[in-house]
Amino acid sequence: MKLFIQLFRIIYKLVSLLNRRVSAKDKLKYSKIIADSQSVSNTIYSLSNRCKNADTKLDIDKFIKHKVKIDKLLKEFSLNETGYEYNYLPLEISYSEKNIDKVKLITTILSTLLNEVRILIHKERFNIAPNQISLALKLSSVNPDNYYESINSSNDLITLEDHKLKDLIEIMSMQDMNFKERAITSDLSIMNLWEHCPNIKVLELFGTELTYKELCELKLNKLRKLKSLILADNNLEELPSYFSSMQKLEYLDLRNNNLLYLPIELSNFNKLKYLNVEKNKLPEKEKERLRKQLSSTIIKF
């Protein structure tokens, strides 16, 4: 009988150890939840700032309450020998038998909170101001983070083409870097965003030294689900002709470029709710044309 009990205990320990081992698939799942939570927290913070200077009925306090809960859980996550640091990219997280139970618990609660935020932004959809559309799209997404940047390697960059979450990417953000230089030296596959990440809804190419030629090569019109596009702080003197077919855009930020005019076919953009063309070189005649053709669009000159 004693031998049987000892044997049972050994088997039980072995089974427990096997159940506590963290597979590569589970590691990716937990990392995604942490990345999503971090992104949602930052987006709510940005949204709260937009509410200060916007004509909106959005009840931002409801979102801030969720942000507080998310931040508290992320802090707790960092205290469980995970190596996680808030807003440090790419994420560097250690999973072990010691912390896996806590990891499972925290990520489960975070998943629930993220779902609540999605429900909340859907309920508030009619209270969103035009200049908040891009942020609202992030909060409504099941995949609200830019995984290309957050779930990658600081030593050996995983290319977009080889990224395990490329099909899930709905938010792509590349800011304050030389887009062309990165494509040439690190990852040529980013020139084919439309091919590797067909589900992109929000694309931010802010301060990437992007030129007209590179923008033509990107063929952004092939991103069929794209709703928000930020091309602020670049070297653009004109927009590619394919822009005429990007009529699903709801949010377009072109501020701080060198544009003299926008495509004539812009009048067909009946879904465009917000257009920012501040700090460009648009003559008064072009501004008047835009006001007439986009009469239902909020335009910032």
pLDDT in tens, 170-188: 999 998 889 989 998 899 9
Kindly report the number of other CB atoms within 10 A of residue 184's CB atom.
11
Query: Per-residue pLDDT tens for 189-232?
Result: 999 999 999 999 999 999 999 999 999 999 999 999 999 999 99
The secondary structure of the chain in percent helix, strand, coil, rounded to multiples of 5, reads 55, 5, 40
**Rg of the chain, C-alpha, whole Å:** 23
Q: What is the DSSP letter of 270?
A: T
Q: How much is the mean pLDDT over the chain?
A: 91
* pLDDT (tens digit per residue) in 286-297: 999 999 999 999
pTM of the entire structure? 0.89
Angle made by CA atoms 145, 148, 150, in degrees to the nearest 5: 60
Residue type at position 190: I
Take residue 177 and report the two structure tokens written for it: 């870097």
Residue 17, pLDDT score: 46
Short-list 299, 274, 278, 272, CA closest to 288: 299
Model confidence pLDDT, tens digit, residues 136-171:
999 999 999 999 999 998 788 899 999 999 999 999
Residue 267: helix, strand or coil by DSSP?
A: helix
Tokens describing residue 190: 């980013």
Report residue 20's pLDDT band, with 50, 70 and 90 as the boundaries. Answer: low
Contact 130, 160 (CB under 8 A): no
Give residue limits of the domains in the chain: 19-128, 146-301
Residue closest to 199 by CA, chosen among 235, 154, 236, 163? 163
Q: How far apart are the first and last CA of the chain?
A: 85
Residue 247 tokens, joined? 């009529």
Strand duo 298-300 + 202-206: pairing = unpaired
Q: What gap in Å lies between CA 129 and CA 132, rounded to an integer?
A: 5
Nearest by Cα to 148 from 117, 179, 109: 179
For residue 278, the model assigns a pLDDT of 97
CATH architecture for segment(s) 146-301:
Alpha-Beta Horseshoe (3.80)
Q: Which residues of 188-211 are buried (b: 16+ CB within 10 A; e: fewer)?
A: ebbbbbbebbebbbbbbbbbbebe
